[in-house]
Amino acid sequence: MGSFIMDKFVINGGKPLNGTVRISGAKNSTLALMPAALLSSGVFHLRNTPVLRDVNTMAALLRTMGMGVELNEHVLTLNTTGVDRYEAPYEHVKKMRASIYVLGPLLARYGRAKVSLPGGCAWGPRPVNLHIEAIRKLGAEVDLKEGYIIAKAGRLNGARIHFDISSVGATGNTLMAAVLARGTTVIENAAIEPEITQLAEFLITMGARINGAGTSRLEIEGVDILHAADIETIPDRIEAGTFLVAGALGRGTVTLTGVRPAHLAAVMAKLEDAGAHLTIGPDTVTLKAPPELRPVDVTANIYPGFPTDMQAQWTALMAVANGTSVVTDSIYFDRFKHIPEMIRLGADIEVKDNAAIIRGTHHLAGAKVMSTDLRASASLILAGLVAEGVTEVLRVYHLDRGYEGIEKKIRALGADIERVAGEEF
């Protein structure tokens, strides 16, 4: 393997954290809203768009199809009047699984789509069988050839779809396919994550007829045509949760602004169990860190359960709690690649099946650690904030996928963290 140059974060741990941090727009909302624009011809504006590598990746993919994509002051302008290609090549999809979101809208609007299969990811296989079964039910002819999903249809037909597993991506794709289908589609066991609810609301603003947004039963009455629309992206509940955990580790008081507290209920309840004191406003949350963290078990589950995208960060918190806790992931069974790295910082953690057993310690010590995915990277930064001495988190490009200016935001709270260019390995 050749060596290459990348940024790293250098953290001098142990500083108390105090102050206010503004939470950005939700990555996972933006990644669904952008491809939804393929469903109609016109000019769209997405306000509160976060500046992230994953948003750039989606922009690059949509541009290859002829969409105009401009991001200016957190307003994303999408111009779909020139869309004339219907393919998502491997070079794009391999960078980001959410590229699969173009499948439903391309098929619904243009009657064809060629989308690379995403393959595995850093923490194991992540199939797309539910997406494919659903578009087949809507009448598409689907071939899997040379690593691609090749889908064709005349106009799609409404159908009854029951998902065996509640899937965010499959619900989003099916919803985007069904809005232009002939007749009624019912999606049962639909995902109710807030990002899917926002997608449904956006589609309704575009002229779609959807009942049950925010519930696990969506009923869609297909329409002939949709129009362009504008929307403000909801705040990122995972970024917010990550900063709440930072606050709980930081021994001070941290206020988040621009959040929707209702979306943070599971994480906030667990933080209170751990001893943090929370004050909740209409769009703010203030966390006062406890003098000592109590151990609290969590099981990551579908919304409104504790998010799988927060379990690594919770593990960092529990690594310094006063006792033993268990973090279980019931969505991704082997999402524990951060554990060996946390152990290098002095954490006492054992992985058994889909659970991490964490014996809290009062002493983590800085080391060089390497992240393998977005949330794992975030958890290593959190651990670095409390470790004594210097922690270097390598491969920070993972963090740039999903956290806007994370080091600036944490530094503003009083942490000693720097981005340093060029780590060779």
Q: What residues act catalytically?
A: 121
Q: Which of 262, 241, 252 is nearest to 314 (CA)?
A: 241
Question: Which residue is at the shortest CB distance from ligand UD1?
Answer: 169
Print the binding letters for residues 30-49 with ligand UD1: x by CB under 6 A, - otherwise: -x------------------
3-state SS class at 57? helix
Q: At what angle do helices 311-318 and 237-249 cross, to 10 degrees?
A: 0
Cα separation, 136 vs 356, whole angstroms: 38
Full strand arrangement of the beta sheet holding 416-424: 368-370, 390-394, 5-12, 416-424
Question: Do the bridges between strand 5-12 and strand 390-394 make them parallel or antiparallel, or are there none, so unpaired?
Answer: antiparallel
Nearer to ligand UD1, 92 or 131 (CB): 131
Residues 180-199 that bind ligand UD1 (CB under 6 A): 191, 195
Q: Which of 91, 151, 143 is nearest to 119 (CA)?
A: 91
Q: Measured from the CB of residue 130, what is the shortest distance to ligand UD1 in angstroms?
A: 3
Print the binding letters for residues 53-92 with ligand UD1: x by CB under 6 A, - otherwise: ----------------------------------------
Please identify which residue in 61, 62, 65, 98 interacts with ligand UD1, judged by CB under 6 A.
98
3-class secondary structure for 248-306?
A: HHCCCEEEEECCCHHHHHHHHHHHHHCCCEEEECCCEEEEECCCCCCCCCEEECCCCCE
Cα separation, 229 vs 205, whole angstroms: 6
Judged by CB under 6 A, does residue 319 bind ligand UD1?
no
CB-based burial label for 41 (10 Å; 0-12, 13-18, 19+)? middle
Q: Interface with ligand UD1 by CB under 6 A: which range of 16-24, 128-136, 270-278, 319-327?
A: 128-136
Residues 328-387 that bind ligand UD1 (CB under 6 A): 331-332
Judged by CB under 6 A, does residue 25 bind ligand UD1?
no
Please identify which residue in 165, 225, 262, 420 interacts with ligand UD1, judged by CB under 6 A.
165
Q: Measured from the CB of residue 125, what is the shortest distance to ligand UD1 in angstroms?
A: 7
Please identify which residue in 22, 45, 85, 97 interacts with ligand UD1, judged by CB under 6 A.
97
* Beta carbons within 10 angstroms of residue 319's beta carbon: 29
Judged by CB under 6 A, does residue 129 bind ligand UD1?
yes
Nearer to ligand UD1, 195 or 423 (CB): 195
CB-based burial label for 62 (10 Å; 0-12, 13-18, 19+)? buried
Q: Measured from the CB of residue 129, what is the shortest distance to ligand UD1 in angstroms?
A: 5
Please identify which residue in 23, 38, 156, 168 interacts with ligand UD1, judged by CB under 6 A.
168
Q: Interface with ligand UD1 by CB under 6 A: which range of 59-67, 142-150, 163-171, 272-280?
A: 163-171
Q: Which of 95, 107, 99, 109 is nearest to 134 (CA)?
A: 107
Chain residues binding ligand UD1 by CB under 6 A are 28, 31, 97-98, 126-131, 165, 167-170, 191, 195, 308-309, 331-332
